């Protein structure tokens, strides 16, 4: 059984690498285990883009600090079971696992059960996306489709479209409106 798990992990890692996407696991950034988990269905119709509205990070070390701070805030101050997002993308261009695949997030009220939540680390009313971040986000969305987490004709929303907020920030908002799956 352990050998089968190792082979599966190797295949998944190679598939991600072939797509040009490496996801830094929660254990890889020192994240805490979730207090509880709810399963997120496959073949979802939506992906919701966020920003954390906090500090921007441009190095892996700085991003890890931000991830730990966000997870602590979500779990300790808000009382959530884990960090709210499925995945987060740093200014370093890395994709970081939050709740991950097939686990319901806590990122958009009334949308958590029907979407994956992807957040960019920083405040994108003032910060601007790098080409590495844009590439990482598009690769992550492609991987979500290839894994069956979201359908190929999924609808991409900014958080402000599904909740009363300025999230994901003006600079991300202006960018994602140019992406093929974004819908008004």
Give me the CATH number covering residue 122: 3.40.80.10
How does pLDDT run along the chain (184 residues), one tens digit per residue?
555 544 444 444 444 444 568 899 999 999 999 999 999 999 999 999 999 999 999 999 999 999 999 999 999 999 999 999 999 999 999 999 999 999 999 999 999 999 999 999 999 999 999 999 999 999 999 999 999 999 999 999 999 999 999 999 999 999 999 999 998 8
Residue 20 lies in a domain: no
**Overall domain count for the chain:** 1
Residue 31 lies in a domain: no
Selection from 36, 45, 10, 37 nearest residue 116 by Cα:
45
Residue 5 lies in a domain: no
- pLDDT at residue 3, as a whole number: 56
**Which H or E run contains 173?**
helix 170-176
Q: Which domain holds residue 74?
A: 41-177
Residue 24 lies in a domain: no
- Work out whether the CA dihedral 63, 67, 73, 74 comes out positive or negative: positive
pTM, two decimal places: 0.88
Residue 92 lies in a domain: yes
Beta strand residue intervals within the chain, DSSP E: 23-24, 44-51, 87-89, 95-97, 115-120, 150-158
Q: Is 124 in contact with 169 (CB distance < 8 Å)?
A: yes
- pLDDT at residue 29, as a whole number: 97
- pLDDT at residue 1, as a whole number: 59
Helices (H), the chain: 2-18, 60-72, 131-147, 170-176
């Amino acid at each position: 059984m352990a050998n089968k798990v190792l082979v599966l992990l190797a295949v998944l890692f190679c598939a991600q690498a072939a797509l040009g996407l490496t996801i830094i696991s929660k254990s890889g950034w020192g994240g805490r285990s979730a207090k509880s988990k709810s399963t997120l269905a496959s073949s979802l119709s939506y992906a919701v883009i966020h920003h954390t509205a906090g500090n921007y990070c441009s190095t892996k070390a700085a991003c890890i600090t931000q991830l730990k701070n966000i997870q602590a805030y979500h779990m300790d101050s808000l009382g959530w079971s884990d960090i709210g997002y499925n995945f987060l993308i740093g200014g370093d261009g890395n994709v970081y696992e939050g709740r991950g695949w097939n686990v319901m997030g806590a990122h958009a009220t009334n949308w958590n059960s029907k979407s994956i939540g992807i957040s960019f680390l920083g405040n994108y009313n003032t910060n601007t996306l790098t080409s590495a971040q844009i590439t990482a986000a598009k690769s992550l969305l492609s991987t979500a489709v290839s894994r069956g987490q979201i359908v190929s004709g999924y609808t991409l929303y900014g958080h402000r479209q599904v909740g009363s907020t300025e999230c994901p920030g003006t600079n991300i908002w202006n960018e994602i409106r140019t992406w093929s799956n974004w819908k008004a």
